[in-house]
Structure 1
Amino acid sequence: MHVSEVFFREDPTPRASWRLAVLMGANSRTYKFALGEALLELAGTGRTDAPLTELARPYAMRLVRHLEEAPQAPAVQELRDTDFLAIARREAAESVRLGQPTEALIRAAVQSMPAMVMQKFTNVPGGTTLPHRFYELTGAPRERIVRFTPEMQRLAMSEHADVLRGELGARWAIVESSFSTGVGASLMREGVAVDLQTLALTDKRRRRAITGVKEATIGFQHGRCLICNDPLAAEDPYAIDHVFAFSYMERMGGLRGWQGPDLDAIWNLAPVHDACNSAKSNRLPTPDEQRRLAQRNEAIQQSPHPLKKTLQLTLSAWKYDSSRPANWFAFIGNVYRLLTN
């Protein structure tokens, strides 16, 4: 069974379908994220549909705003003059001055969105077909209407909407970083590190903050606390838990004598309720917590670089009993045995 199928089975809801599309789909450009934000915005008003020209406005403007900060496609991609991203670059300054996309940019968005991003929004690894749809296009080519499905409306107006927006923003920032010249190269080779002072993911070489640990990982946990498995709402006090407590490294001979993997790395860090973290203290994770951590890490490895690369590096760097763990379930079981033998 493909990891995406396992991910959905754990939470067979529209939220899981949305997360599969946003967090685990392939990203050769960032169009998917701009569309996701535009959908959440318009469907969140309670509307059941909108002209494609209206959806194109927040879609195009979000891309323009992000273009001010970072590349929206790999540097190696050559763009034709008629490419939507090339048009967005040309129209960016005027759009920012106006505070809205230019008419030329809106026309380009309306022309390109149906085939370029709307048909591909739900493409995920493994050829999985998402059980839920979020919109459909109807009407003549010049008067396209976007109809929001009931699932899209419920997502956009639910108490989970802010969490989903945070996850999408974090994913966008991570992909942008992998596209950035120089920064992207080191991310691809070395993955990301964790700054425990700021609880942010950073580029290992330049220590440049990318996004928060919580925002980058919570979606792969289905928005749930890894300890109690209850939802972790946007307003809930939270902590970033070392699932295997960092103190075990010191108990077992200090950092130089520790024979296991780095416990300060992202594979071992998980957002949890603050109260759950306090109650857990330094105990070893339960079998359910180990399973949830393994499933979370397996899901992250289905996302594009650099999070995928980060976990791959961890798996390949640590040997136990002269063998490399084939997956995260074996890896985490090996860590547990190392700490209990």
Structure 2
Amino acid sequence: MSESKFLAIDPKLEDYWRAIILFGKNVACYKFALAKSLLELAPQGKSIITLEDLAEPYSRHIIEHLKIVDKQTTSVSSRFLDACRKFNTGDITKTRLIDTTVQRGFENVIDAFHNLSVGETAVRFFVDERRGANKGIILTNELFKLLEKLQSENLPHEVEARWRLVETAWELNISRNLISIGYDPNNQLLFTFSDRRRRVDVTSCRDALNGYQKGKCFYSFADISIEPGSTNLADVDHFIPYSLNEYISNIDGVWNLVLSSTECNRGKRGKFDRLPDIKYLDRLHNRNEFLITSNHPLRETLIQQTGNTTKHRRNFLQCKYRKAQSRLGTGSNHGWKSEFEYPVTF
């Protein structure tokens, strides 16, 4: 299973969190709203969170997304989502919304939050206490420790990006519509088109890809950030250089986009327009397989770009790499390498 491979190499707290967000099977927005609420509530320092306390941020995140995309579930109807819609139109009060959220908003998500296809995660970020004296959830030490990690600033962006991609797929009715997803290098956005050929900007490319690289530079495994304004802000890099765009088809495809530290991408001894060493090709394949096997809305895009089977996708990358070598006039398998590399994480 994809999440097993994702967690196979020295998993950290943030990797368990990312497995929940990135590899969960989502038929509704609830897991994303709960994740954003947990990241918002934990810094307040309280471990006991009543359902009333949880209902405010949880419903707020959902009503904000309903304003962007009305379809927030694959189910035909939801009385809870209907209440959120009524609040947005001014037909019910905030008090009524909170009461409805407490009664109906958490029916499945609290039980299912930690579930992956291989079972429940080894790490829990809260404990269900709805039937106990506290009538809510208890945040675990693991959640508080997670927020102390360097990667914690990236997590809200990753949840939001995953949510935006999934709800766009729901809005377009079937995920294969996202086959047309593209990359806008000027704005570093992923976009697609509606059935009326209207461009739909979906999310930041950085935010969508970062979790699958575990918040690490693709080449050196150094920590990177996707927080706007960060001194450590990641670059979106074309693995096969963009300078070959006239010879390599779909060079802006998601299959060829990786996140890199600025030092590796354009530092003193950076990659720039050079072809990376062939050793990185297997790493690119692994990153793409995480996306394909994680029920990610980009899976259809990647399959369409690279092939229907793992073997086809490996062959696709190898073919593109050899073609790039030929255009650059080198027959050697040796290309640019990062000057240093931290322990492998994916």
TM-score interval, normalised by the smaller of the two chains: 0.7 to 0.9
Per-residue deviation at 1:113?
A: 4.4
Residue 212 of structure 1 is matched in structure 2 by 204
| Distance of 2:4 and 2:156 partners within structure 1 | 23
* Structure 1: distance between partners of 2:252 and 2:64: 34
Q: 2:250 aligned with 1:262, yes or no?
A: yes
Q: Which residue of 2 aligns with 1:165?
A: 156
Q: List aligned pairs for 1:246-325, cutoff 5 A.
A: 246-249=242-245, 255=246, 258=247, 261-278=249-266, 279-316=270-307
Aligned partners of 1:184, 1:203: CA distance in 2, in Å?
Answer: 13
When the two chains are superposed, the root-mean-square deviation of aligned CA atoms in Å is 2.5
Deviations 1:209-240 (A, max 9, x none): 11111011011100111121111023113321
SS of aligned partner of 2:70: coil
Mapping of residues 1-341 of structure 1, within 5 Å: 2-74=1-73, 77-79=75-77, 83-94=79-90, 102-125=94-117, 127-138=118-129, 140=131, 143-180=134-171, 183-184=172-173, 188=177, 190-204=179-193, 205-233=197-225, 234=227, 235=230, 236-249=232-245, 255=246, 258=247, 261-278=249-266, 279-316=270-307, 326=311, 328-340=313-325
Q: Which runs of 5+ in 1 are unaligned?
A: 250-254, 318-323
Partners in 1 of 2:132 and 2:87 — Cα distance? Answer: 24
Instruction: Tell me the distance in 2 between the aligned counterparts of 1:246 and 1:219.
Output: 24
Q: Give the structure-2-normalised TM-score.
A: 0.83
TM-score when normalising by structure 1: 0.84
Distance 2:287 2:54 in 1: 33
Contact conserved, 1:15 with 1:155, CA < 8 A, in 2? yes
| Cα distance in 2 between the residues matched to 1:189 and 1:232 | 27
Question: What CA deviation, in whole Å up to 9, does each residue of 1:104-159 have, x standing for no partner?
Answer: 2222222334432111112334x343121110022536841311111111223433
- Distance in 1 between residues matched to 2:65 and 2:48, nearest whole Å: 26
User: Aligned partners of 2:43 and 2:113: how far apart in 1?
Assistant: 19
TM-superposed CA distance for 1:296, in Å, is 1.3
Moved more, 221-230 or 201-210: 201-210
Q: Could you tell me which amino acid in structure 2 is paired with residue 336 of structure 1? A: Y
Shift of 1:94: 3.6
Deviations 1:261-293 (A, max 9, x none): 422111101121122111112222234432322
Cα separation, 1, equivalents of 2:320 and 2:264 = 22
**Secondary structure in structure 2 of the residue aligned to 1:78:** coil
| Structure 2 CA distance for partners of 1:160 and 1:247, relative to 1, 3 Å | same
- Dislocated runs of 4+, deviation >6 Å: none
AA matched with 2:13: P
Q: Secondary structure at the match of 1:131?
A: coil
| C-alpha contact 1:170 1:215 (8 A) present in aligned 2 | yes
Counterpart contact for 2:178–2:192, Cα < 8 Å: no
Say whether the 8 Å CA contact 2:125–2:142 is kept in structure 1: yes
Answer whether contact 1:220 1:299 (CA < 8 A) is retained. Answer: yes
Letter in 2 for 1:8: L
Q: CA deviation at 1:17?
A: 1.2
- Percent of pairs with identical residues: 28
Cα distance in 1 for residues equivalent to 2:167 and 2:132: 32
Structure 1 residues 59-98: Cα deviation after superposition (integer angstroms, max 9, x where no partner): 0111111111212435x64215xx2112221233349x97
**What CA distance in whole angstroms lies between the structure 1 residues aligned with 2:311 and 2:297?**
20
Change (3 A) 1:304 1:166: same
| Contact residue 188 and residue 305 of structure 1 kept, 8 A | no
Equivalent in the alignment of 2:337: none
- 1:67 and 1:114 map into 2 onto residues whose CA distance is 17
In structure 2, stretches of 5+ residues that fail to align are 326-330, 332-346
After superposition, the C-alpha distances for 1:149-176 in whole angstroms (9 at most, x for unaligned) are 1111122343322200111111111112
SS at match of 2:259: strand
Change in 2 beyond 3 A, CA 1:307/1:139? closer
Structure 1 range deviating more: 115-124 or 23-32: 115-124
Counterpart contact for 1:238–1:273, Cα < 8 Å: yes
